[in-house]
Amino acid sequence: MSLAQIFLSEFFGTFILILFGAGVCAAVNLPKSKAQGSGWIVIAFGWGLAVFMGVYAAYATGGHLNPAVTIGLAVAGKDLAAGVPATAANICIYILAQMLGAIVGAVAAWLAYKKHFDEQAPGEVKLSCFSTGPGIRSYGWNVVTEAIGTFALVSWVIYNGKSPSELGPLAVAFVIVAIGLSLGGPTGYAINPARDLGPRIAYAFLPIPGKGSADWAYSWVPVVGPLIGGVVAGLLIPNMAGLF
């Protein structure tokens, strides 16, 4: 594939991911939404299905949608997708497309819920529709949580190459739901730098009435934690038990 084709695939897949992922957060959290207060299980399944759709949309490039997955596969010595080697240029195009797709997806979710964002609500509630935040702020431990969740995800992606099930996007959707239900409580499980930073950037420039800070002091955690988890998975998993 050309660099343009790689870019468009990952851009569109990540756009779909954030449109539906940020959309379910808006549905659950915003005033006067018919789904307001429906809870964490709805959010976890919403994000799982968002991944399902996004991976299908970006099937041509392996449906990474996540810089931690892209870097984890590169560290593991694997191609990024069939016929797409893990060159520096390809890695940069993947990550650029993921970030821009996340920003545009967040803007689209805001447009869908524009009138609800215009309603009075605490700034942190509106921010939660775009980006993650910790239940207990402890930057070091928040990084650990994000690294563990991302390690689980990227490990599964690497192992999945040997899976006979061929469940593909449906399987990764269930993995995302499982991570959300089991490990998502402390930080909101970004497990994806683009998923958090892209929408956070969109929140910062969108004209949302009554919005507060984008919480830049925390913004590095859902970037650094997932990258650590992805790199550790890429280094460790291919060398376990001679499976690869």
- pLDDT tens track for 63-76: 999 999 999 999 99
User: What single letter denotes the amino acid at residue 203?
Assistant: Y
The arithmetic mean of pLDDT across residues 103-130, rounded, is 97
What pLDDT score was predicted for residue 240? 77
- Tokens representing residue 15 in the block: 């756009």
What pLDDT score was predicted for residue 238? 85
199-184-26 Cα angle (round to 5): 40
The arithmetic mean of pLDDT across residues 102-126, rounded, is 97
pTM of the model: 0.94
Which residues have C-beta within 8 Å of that of residue 119, sequence separation ≥ 6? Answer: 30, 31, 32
Helices H / strands E in the chain, number of each: 11, 0
What pLDDT score was predicted for residue 239? 79
**pLDDT tens sequence across 46-55:** 999 999 999 9
Q: What is the mean pLDDT of the chain?
A: 94
Return d(Cα 234, Cα 126) in angstroms, integer.
35
Q: Which residue has the tokens 């005033």?
A: 31
Q: Which residue has the higher pLDDT, 109 or 158?
A: 109
**pLDDT over 60 (residue 236):** yes
- Classify domain 3-236 by CATH number: 1.20.1080.10
Domain ranges of the chain: 3-236
How many CA atoms lie less than 13 Å away from 163 in the CB half-sphere? 14
Q: What percent of the chain has pLDDT over 70?
A: 95
Which residues have C-beta within 8 Å of that of residue 56, sequence separation ≥ 6? Answer: 13, 63, 169
Return d(Cα 200, Cα 66) in angstroms, integer.
15
**pLDDT tens sequence across 166-182:** 567 888 999 999 999 99
Min mean pLDDT across 28-32, 145-149, 159-163 is at 159-163
